[in-house]
Amino acid sequence: MTMKFDINLADQRVSDADREQLLASPGFGQIFTEHMITIEWDAESGWHNAQLRPYGPLSLDPATKVLHYGQELFEGLKAYRQPDGSIVSFRPRANAARFNASGERMAMPPLPEDVFVEALELLVSTDRDWVPTQEGHSLYLRPFMIATEVGMGINAPSSTYLFCVIASPSATYFSGAIRPVSVWLSQDYTRAAVGGTGAAKCGGNYAGAFVAQQQAIAEGCDQVVWLDAVEHRWIEEMGGMNMFFVYGSGSSARIMTPALTGTLLPGITRDSLLKLAPDLGIPVTEDRISIEEWEAGCLSGEITETFACGTAAVITAVGRAKGPKGSWTVGDGEPGPVTKRLREELVGIQYGSQPDPHSWIHKLV
Ligand code: PLP
Ligand code: COI
């Protein structure tokens, strides 16, 4: 399916000098390009009124459903500048598929994957000057969908929706990217339970997480680690990242990540590492690990490294963990060789310095 987009360009573009200045240290999700995509949906017309238009505020009636009940979805992926100046993204169809899987859970209409990808191509090609050339930086793309019906009934989902894509030049999520993070094992709060929305990328999952993240910071940690809802023992994932545990070292190193139980977000980086690591001779498993096993494994040396992975965070080492009963160091507290190797390979594919054996790279411009 191809969509006909109305093109309405911004009257004023940011000057080259001002853009350069903004791109010098963009932070994460702080600055935005000059355009955005919007497409509307209703039952009669399906997806319609597709527009590329100047970036700007949306006007919503105060009784719009999304404002009250949070019927919303989002995705996150990046556009990467290549050595030849072209611009690519990484597995955008996987994001499109996850967007629709999330939509199914939230009773929202599917967007054809081709339209999702076309929207990215059009926005990035229009705002291509905003795709950073600085090493490790990228243009973070944020597709999202909101319920736009006006009315506060809760007997049925919204009858109308707005799909939107905005773009934000960004550095990596963690400043000083390579510094390992410390994590707080949340006992007081639960992110997701069986039958809930944990596997969907909906805003509410993140709204409910802020208080635990605040607690993590108050405990002197960078990030919260979520445990299962029933026993509060089994490690699920982090705030915006999946987790991997490295067992052993050298040629006998292997990696394990918590299995997708329906309460974790099925990360695309996670899935990519499950395919990439075996290429490098590193066996992978999907299993489960409790906090006690993690701590004991770190103390005995069986677990040598732990890292978190996601689009925004890429691959980030976990150096220390803290729970109510105490804290421990993972390995020597520094990023280990398996973490560094996997990061190098993944980033190499994304930025075009390594071959792409799984055809994950999609040229946008
Ligand atoms: N887990 C959560 C809760 C997330 O928000 C994210 C980020 O999107 C991830 C994991 C990692 O997913 P991905 O690798 O697709 O970015
Ligand atoms: C991402 O990695 O794309 C995320 O969505 C993480 C977070 C910023 C929500």
d(CA 130, CA 365): 13
Angle between helices 92-105 and 113-126 (to 10 degrees): 130
Q: What number does the ligand 1 atom closest to the CA of 272 have?
A: 14
Tell me the ligand closest to 346's alpha carbon.
Answer: 1
Question: Does residue 174 have a pLDDT over 80?
Answer: no
pLDDT at 182: 97
Nearest to 226 by CA among 157, 357, 124, 321: 321
The per-residue pLDDT for 2 is 86
Quote the pLDDT of residue 192: 97
Rounded to an integer, what distance in angstroms lies between the CA atom of residue 306 and that of residue 243?
7
**140 with 167: CB under 8 angstroms?**
yes
Burial status of residue 159 (CB atoms within 10 A of its CB: 0-12, 13-18, 19 or more): middle
- DSSP code of 134? S
Q: How many whole angstroms separate alpha carbon 179 and alpha carbon 365?
A: 32
Q: Whose CA is nearest to atom 3 of ligand 2?
A: 76
Q: What is the mean pLDDT of residues 3-24?
A: 97
- CA torsion 288-293-299-302 (nearest 10°) is -40
- Decide if 35 contacts 10 (C-beta within 8 A): yes
> What pLDDT does 172 receive?
79
310 CA distance to ligand 2 centroid (A)?
Answer: 7
E-strand stretches of 223-363: 223-227, 235-238, 242-247, 254-258, 284-287, 303-310, 314-323, 326-329, 361-363
Cβ atoms within 10 Å, residue 133 = 8
Residue position matching structure tokens 């805003």: 203
Least confident window among 64-68, 174-178, 186-190, 342-346: 174-178
311 C-beta closer than 6 A to ligand 2:
yes
Q: What is the pLDDT of residues 47-85, one digit of tens each?
A: 999 999 999 999 999 999 999 999 999 999 999 999 999
Q: Which of 31-35, 175-179, 272-276, 339-343 has the lowest mean pLDDT?
A: 175-179
State the ligand closest to the CA atom of 268: 1
CB of 272 within 6 A of ligand 2: the answer is: no
Is there an atom of ligand 1 within 6 Å of 350 CB?
no
Residue 292 has pLDDT above 90, yes or no: yes
Cα–chain-centroid distance for residue 220?
24
Q: What is the mean pLDDT of residues 116-140?
A: 97
Question: Considering the chain, what is the average pLDDT of its residues?
Answer: 96
Q: Is 310 in the pocket of ligand 2 (CB under 6 A)?
A: yes
- 143 CB within 6 A, ligand 2: no
Beta bridge partners of 234: 290
Q: Whose CA is closest to atom 9 on ligand 1?
A: 241
Q: Ligand 1: distance of its center to the CA of 48 in Å? A: 29
C-beta separation of 82 from 88 below 8 A: yes
Under the banding of pLDDT at 50, 70 and 90, the label for residue 175 is low
The predicted model gives 189-194 an average pLDDT of 97
Residue 152 pLDDT > 70? yes
Rg (CA), the chain: 21
Q: Tell me the CA–centroid distance for residue 340 and ligand 1, in Å.
A: 19
Helices 268-279 and 337-350: crossing angle in degrees, nearest 10, is 110
Please report which residue ranges of 4-162 form alpha helices under DSSP H: 16-24, 65-69, 92-105, 113-126
Residue % of the chain over a pLDDT of 70 = 99
Q: Please return the burial class of 85, using the count of CB atoms within 10 Å of its CB with bins 0-12, 13-18 and 19+.
A: exposed
Q: Long-range pairs for 102-105 at CB < 8 Å and ≥24 separation?
A: 102/73, 102/199, 102/200, 102/201, 102/202, 103/73, 103/145, 105/197, 105/199, 105/200, 105/202
Give kind and range of the element (H or E) at residue 73: strand 72-74
